[in-house]
Structure 1
Amino acid sequence: MPSEAVRLGRKRPVPSCPNPLFLQWLTEMRDHAKEKGLKTQYVYQKAINSLKKYPLPLKNGKEAKILQNFGDGICKILDERLEKYNRENGANAPVYCLISSAEPHSNNPLSIKTSSHCSNLPVLKGGRNMSKADGGVGKEKAGKKKREYVPQKRSGGYAVLLTLYRHSQIPNSKGYMFKNELQTEAQSLCDKSFTVPDLGSKYTAWSSVSTLVQKNLLLKTHNPARYSLTELGFALAERLDSEERGGEDRQEEEEKNEAENSEDGPTTVDLTQDEDKDEQKGGDFCFPKTAGDTGAVSVTHAANAAPHTDLTKKSHDSETEKTAYLLPGDYDIVLCVDFIETTGGNTARKQELVKELQRNGVTFDVRKLNVGDFLWVAREKVAPVPGQLRPPMAKELVLDYIIERKRIDDLCGSIMDGRFREQKFRLKRCGLHKPIYLVEQCGSAAAHLSLPESTLQQAIVNTQVVDNFFVKKVQDVKESAAYLTVMTRYLQKLYQNRTLYCRSRELEGDGECDVENGGRERENPRCSLISFTEFNHGALKNKCQTVREVFARQLMQISGISGDKAAAILEHYSTVSSLMNAYKQCSTDAEREKLLSSIKYGKLKRNIGPALSRTVYQLYCTDGPLS
């Protein structure tokens, strides 16, 4: 029988992948790894890219080892899946199927060989049925949309979407959230931590945010990053929110029906109708509910129970809610660690600090601190409310202790670039009264610094004597973790029987830290504290500043002008304009140069002196560059 002439050239479209079954399994494994935030997702994606480029069908996973990015592990998984597939569909079930030619009779021998089996090939997820007989089905599958991505309930992506959606529903909402506030508000909707990874893993619930951005559900802009929902993300979050609220309504309806159907059940009186109004009157921090006072209050009319007990307590609570405070035993002392102390730079050394704290059993939380590296908060113990999915937000009051941690080489760099003075000034003005400088000696590294060791030691002494900071010297990271552990346990004991009141920082201003009367402070610690939200917002480094604040920062850039000297100048001339007007009223240059020399500063009321006064005059009044 004469053979047909060989047809040259490509007469049919190139198939997207001649191994749709393997492609489906690799895609499923990649998506599963992405859901869990595993880095193996990238390995599977590389294998998928290689498989799509390979033009020939593969009989088993072992043959795929010739492809790039296919190792023993992936090939073994494919063979196991293939064995299971053959058990379910028969030993002769086809593994691959090529796209048939557009012509009625294809001369491709491989196409003819495989076309007889393609009708038995089950419909694959995201794939195509390539047989000529089922061409209509293949076109229908090809036009079908991909399955919509929906994050798993109580996962990181689920919590982020719901939080952003609910935040957008608040009147006068800004439409976006920063990372820190988004993590704080979304934590109650997620089972995993947004800041601390599980043991044996380095991924947190926040890792799923990259998936949301990739799926065009979340928009990340600006620096610092702002997160907002896209139109697609808003629609998905709205649907998730309605489903969750529907589940809560069904749960409340079931509980209501159970209460109505129980003949011997207790009589329940709902006393929470005005609870929202009372909480609004109480400000940010309201009187905490005690155990058994969550949600609706049940009054059981039993023979040995007083029916008016809870009613009296509720009346007392409504009166005291106007004063915000936390009772002893209703809060935990938690160490807050700035996220910069755990990421960036020498990551291994910074992770060592976290591991040491975990090993010592310290309760800590990693978050963004706008000033300082470590501080402690009194976090309210919050119990779940019956009938509600999420527990209420815990109230947090900042204790008066804040730590700035410095390695000796970092101290050297901060002195040279001016950060050292600015950080001390911001610590004094942060509203906390017990600043601590934790200095880590780095051994032989001190011999290779840009400043002599005597200069660094003098700076440390000045911090303690002149600035009235408590300075603690340690040898390494392990000793730093030990000091933080001891301080945490000391504060837990110090505040264990204290009632903590909330004060507003706006009412008292940004007073400097007061480290006098340390002995009395130990016996009677300050219990009038500010909320963490107010503290962290007030400590923003790049927040909108007044003209007076900008003028102060300008003055502190001049060598020799400390925070005390700048504050003394501001008492007389609050703005640059007022200072320039004072210079204009002077008759001679010599008088202008000595204008600021007699201003008193600090506790000792010393004069600023003629040298600094002349420097400030030259800075603001010299035409052209300074010589």
Structure 2
Amino acid sequence: MAERLEITLKQPNPLFEKWLEKWLEEAERRNAKSQYKLREALHALRSYPLPLATGRECAILRGFGSTLCNLIDEELRLYQERQHISQLQPTMQTFQSDVKQLVHSIQKNKSRKLQTKITKKEQKAIADEEERQRQVIMSPGSFRIILLVDTQETNGKNKRTLDQTRCYLESFDILYEVRRLTIGDFLWIARDQEGNELVLPFIVERKRFDDLASSIRDGRFHEQKHRLRQCGIQNVIYLVEDYGNNEHLGLPIESLQQAIVNTQIHSGFTIAHTQNNFRSMKHLAGVTKTLIRCFRNKVLLSTTKEDLQPYRSSADMYGLLKFRALYEDSARGAQLTIREIFVQQLLQLHSLSLEKALAIVEVYPTPRLIFDAYEACTSEKEARSLLATISCGPLQRQLGDKISQTIYDFYKTDFQ
């Protein structure tokens, strides 16, 4: 009768332990909150009896989130480059490799059979989702930073002459591309040699004073600000440009200046004021050169909107959104919830700001709920003042009777 032989490795993952110990020591020195997760992960790794080949495989252990797994993978890649080897050789026997190869072959065959049963549209949806989930890592020196310009910013009326925006950017020796953007007018991407594109955490919405007045009158002003706040790019630059002598704008200049101040205080946007198109492009050229200096020595990782971390210039590694994901998610009306549609609907009403609309949907998240609340009122007078006491903004001012009555009339008036 054959006797079972059991082999236990004393330290199956020495490299990973070494890196975790180093990061834990740094976190404890800074008294960072991450020290608790790192300590939990290190304990789980020391207790695990088998070798792990990548950071992604560590996800099966306690304390290992996507960020920590990505950190290990990047450290592993740098280690391999220093050792001049193409891949890390696991200490496990070839049996494990054979099993993995067999499982991969079976999965591949099953995938082929499945693809024959689903439509091309479904196949494309699966491929798109796989592309969204694919991890992208850019090491320092492997990418270029490019300014993206929305097509609407470069469509000149006279096609025989070079567009001013293009001309100015070229004169400043700025690497740029013109393409359709679904959010903002200018943003920056990092692109590697494989064509992967990650969006830097800065975006510019450009408004000439006459366009600003027009957007306030037709309701685009609040809607655009709302979409910019929801897109996932943390630093929004609101670039305001003079229109001649700022006369004949359609709204008093004092009203426009107040709107700009509100944008800075309530929305948290950075305001930049320029005199003309040349000055605007010079400002963008300066921002571009600053971003190149800040990011060229960083490791860039693709991440999801939910996992984005606040931008810190001192960080050596930074998670960014993929451009394609930003483009699709920010498209007008793309994957909007009922709550978001309700906000956009309220913003079309006169004198209803974004802060007031958000305060209403905080109490009544859908139109159905506000209709039910109206029906529950004992009189029309009570219904017309239903929203008057809702507070909004930093000062928690009440909406008041006028806005409450306007919303009641909007939803309860029958149109024949």
* Whole-angstrom CA distance in 1 between matches of 2:180 and 2:215: 20
* Whole-angstrom CA distance in 2 between matches of 1:345 and 1:421: 28
Matches within 5 A, 1:336-485: 336-345=148-157, 351-380=163-192, 382=193, 392=194, 394-444=195-245, 446-485=246-285
* Whole-angstrom CA distance in 1 between matches of 2:188 and 2:268: 20
CA contact (8 A) 2:136 2:196 kept: no
3-state DSSP of counterpart to 1:406? strand
Q: 1:347 to 1:436 in 2, by over 3 A?
A: farther
* Whole-angstrom CA distance in 1 between matches of 2:252 and 2:89: 66
Find the partner of 1:309 among 74, 78, 85. 85
Q: Which residue of structure 2 aligns with residue 174 of structure 1?
A: none
3-state DSSP of counterpart to 1:574? coil
Q: 1:438 to 1:346 in 2, by over 3 A?
A: farther
3-state DSSP of counterpart to 1:448? coil
3-state DSSP of counterpart to 1:447? coil
* Whole-angstrom CA distance in 2 between matches of 1:623 and 1:557: 18
For structure 1, which runs of at least 5 residues remain unmatched after alignment? 1-277, 298-305, 316-320, 383-391, 515-519
CA contact (8 A) 1:341 1:350 kept: no
Q: 1:541 deviation in Å?
A: 1.1
For structure 2, which runs of at least 5 residues remain unmatched after alignment? 1-56, 58-65, 92-132
Q: 1:549 to 1:597 in 2, by over 3 A?
A: same
Q: Which residue of structure 2 aligns with residue 589 of structure 1?
A: 380
Q: 1:562 deviation in Å?
A: 2.0
Matches within 5 A, 1:243-262: none
1:609 aligns with 2:400: yes
3-state DSSP of counterpart to 1:551? helix
Q: 1:593 to 1:432 in 2, by over 3 A?
A: same
Q: Which residue of structure 2 aligns with residue 23 of structure 1?
A: none
Q: 1:399 deviation in Å?
A: 1.2
3-state DSSP of counterpart to 1:402? strand
Output the amino acid matched with 2:288: T
RMSD: 3.7
CA contact (8 A) 1:439 1:471 kept: yes
* Whole-angstrom CA distance in 2 between matches of 1:561 and 1:423: 14
Find the partner of 1:488 among 267, 282, 288. 288
Q: Which residue of structure 1 aligns with residue 371 of structure 2?
A: 580
Percent identity, aligned pairs only?
36
* Whole-angstrom CA distance in 2 between matches of 1:456 and 1:525: 40
The normalised TM-score by structure 2 is 0.65
CA contact (8 A) 2:190 2:199 kept: yes
Q: Which residue of structure 1 aligns with residue 301 of structure 2?
A: 501
Q: May I ask how many residue pairs the two structures share in their alignment? A: 308
* Whole-angstrom CA distance in 1 between matches of 2:145 and 2:174: 10
CA contact (8 A) 1:341 1:373 kept: yes
Cα deviation digits, residues 554-594 of structure 1 (max 9, x gap): 11111222222222222222221111111111112222122
CA contact (8 A) 2:301 2:317 kept: no
1:559 aligns with 2:350: yes
Q: 1:371 deviation in Å?
A: 1.0
* Whole-angstrom CA distance in 2 between matches of 1:463 and 1:526: 31
CA contact (8 A) 1:400 1:526 kept: no
Cα deviation digits, residues 233-252 of structure 1 (max 9, x gap): xxxxxxxxxxxxxxxxxxxx
Q: 1:324 deviation in Å?
A: 4.2
* Whole-angstrom CA distance in 1 between matches of 2:86 and 2:301: 25
Output the amino acid matched with 1:556: L
Q: Which residue of structure 1 aligns with residue 323 of structure 2?
A: 532
CA contact (8 A) 2:297 2:316 kept: no
* Whole-angstrom CA distance in 2 between matches of 1:545 and 1:314: 46
Q: 1:324 to 1:601 in 2, by over 3 A?
A: farther
Cα deviation digits, residues 241-288 of structure 1 (max 9, x gap): xxxxxxxxxxxxxxxxxxxxxxxxxxxxxxxxxxxxx9xxx9xx9979
3-state DSSP of counterpart to 2:324? helix
CA contact (8 A) 1:349 1:477 kept: no
* Whole-angstrom CA distance in 2 between matches of 1:623 and 1:442: 42
CA contact (8 A) 2:200 2:320 kept: yes
Cα deviation digits, residues 450-481 of structure 1 (max 9, x gap): 22222222222222233221111111111111
Q: 1:290 deviation in Å?
A: 8.3
* Bigger relative contact order, structure 1 or 2 (CA pairs below 8 A, ≥6 apart): 2
Q: Which residue of structure 2 aligns with residue 568 of structure 1?
A: 359
* Whole-angstrom CA distance in 1 between matches of 2:214 and 2:160: 21
CA contact (8 A) 2:241 2:275 kept: yes
Q: 1:349 to 1:591 in 2, by over 3 A?
A: farther
3-state DSSP of counterpart to 2:146? strand
Q: 1:455 to 1:562 in 2, by over 3 A?
A: closer
* Whole-angstrom CA distance in 1 between matches of 2:160 and 2:255: 30
CA contact (8 A) 2:240 2:272 kept: yes
Output the amino acid matched with 2:376: Q
Q: 1:368 deviation in Å?
A: 0.8
* Whole-angstrom CA distance in 2 between matches of 1:348 and 1:561: 43
CA contact (8 A) 1:343 1:350 kept: no
CA contact (8 A) 2:299 2:316 kept: no
Q: 1:471 to 1:619 in 2, by over 3 A?
A: same
Q: Which residue of structure 2 aligns with residue 47 of structure 1?
A: none
